[in-house]
A = this chain, B = another copy of it.
């Protein structure tokens, strides 16, 4: 078998963006709970460092999967929400959920 260069594999290319546990858990929160503030996500994703959360959100924003929206100008306050492009990844979460329900236990 020859190598399958990442750039020519759409699965690998998608995983460049979302192939990381925290990233998929951020998507989970935004899909299940709607728009969230940074602090909401930090609290929900117990154990994530602010730096990691910030970096993951940046990747998701740059990829057009998540949008940052200001809901107050003074003081500036932002929240994150999933975009239509991000919503297309919902079947991933659905499959992970069903699999977890069938094959893992709390």
A-side interface residues toward B, CB under 8 Å? 1-21, 24-25, 28-29, 33, 36, 40, 43-44, 46, 63-64, 85, 88-89, 91-106
Task: Judge whether A96 and B85 touch: CB under 8 Å.
Answer: no
- A104-B14 contact, Cβ under 8 Å, with A19-B21, A88-B99: yes
| Interface residues of A, dominant DSSP | helix
- A43-B3 contact, Cβ under 8 Å, with A15-B25, A20-B19: yes
Q: Which of B10, B40, B96 contacts A92 (CB 8 A)?
A: B96
- A106-B8 contact, Cβ under 8 Å, with A24-B19, A99-B88: yes
- A100-B13 contact, Cβ under 8 Å, with A20-B19, A91-B95, A95-B89: yes
